[in-house]
Amino acid sequence: MTASRIIYGTAWKKERTVTLVINAVLNGFRAIDTAGQPKHYRFTSLGGQDQSKPLPYDPLNRLETQINDSFENSLKNLQTSYIDSYILHSPLETFPRTITAWKTLMALQDAGKVKYIGVSNSYDVSLLEALEADGGRRVQVVQNRWFEGNGWDAEVLAYCRKHGIQYQSFWTLTGSPSLLSHPLMKSFAEAKGCTSAQAVYRLAQHHGITPLSGTSNEEHMRADIAVEEIVVDAKDKKIVLEVAKWMGIKD
């Protein structure tokens, strides 16, 4: 799968969203993470929606219809004829409903309306395996919290790396203060002449992770895009392996 190596996240930006997305694009971002409703992202079942706001579907309809209506609503809002990646906000309340939702995403992909399909907030490898086994198609995108509180989601990340699934991370910086301040990360940042935040993003990319950045600061936007220019080569092997070992990443 070819895709942007860093994504701009629009979560919780509310009335600032338009201005910040424009700024992100002008500063180099080419992938934008969007929502069907401001409270939550992607297709979200009723329990996760803010029911005081307009819903992107009728909750009385069948699940398949809800997903299709939510998708069409996104096309209308984005003024496009397709979506690069359409994912479930999380597994649904039961496994059968999750499979139904997954097959609906598959149908959208088969119709040429979506390039890649996936799931967010899925921290169990067995679920990802079941979506392929029972749903009939391997997940192509996983978007999870990647932070020290869940051990950097090591098992799911390893599964994604093994099977060529794009792993997108959120909470990459804010959720891991010890990663930003770790001596290894500081050493790498000093060697590359970059900030610790840039070092985290670049080493995450090196290990097959596509980070989301939600910054509202234009200087930080430019710094995030510049991460791609940081070269990781043979002389960095030792520190790269040490950082990976500390985070439980197997290379």
Average pLDDT over residues 235-243: 90
Residue 3 clears pLDDT 60, i.e. is over it: no
Q: How far is it, in rounded angstroms, from Cα 247 to Cα 234?
A: 20
Average pLDDT over residues 78-106: 95
Residue scoring higher pLDDT (137 or 55): 137
What is the per-residue pLDDT for 2?
A: 46
Question: And the tokens for 111?
Answer: 């119709």
Count the neighbouring beta carbons within 10 Å of the beta carbon of residue 183: 8
What is the per-residue pLDDT for 207?
A: 92
Strands 32-33 and 7-9: parallel
- Say how far residue 122 (Cα) sits from the centre of its chain: 11
pTM (two decimals): 0.93
Longest Cα separation, the chain: 59
Determine which helix (DSSP H) or strand (DSSP E) holds 109, and give its type and residue range. Answer: helix 95-110
What is the per-residue pLDDT for 1?
A: 47
Residue 251 clears pLDDT 80, i.e. is over it: no
pLDDT in tens, 152-211: 999 999 999 999 999 999 999 999 899 899 999 999 999 999 999 999 999 999 999 999
> String of b and e for 116-147 (b: at least 16 CB within 10 Å)?
bbbbbbbeeeeebebbeeebeeebbbbbbbbb
> What is the band of 51 on the pLDDT scale with cuts at 50, 70, 90?
confident
Q: How far is it, in rounded angstroms, from Cα 34 to Cα 95?
A: 25
| Fold classified for 7-247 | TIM Barrel (3.20.20)
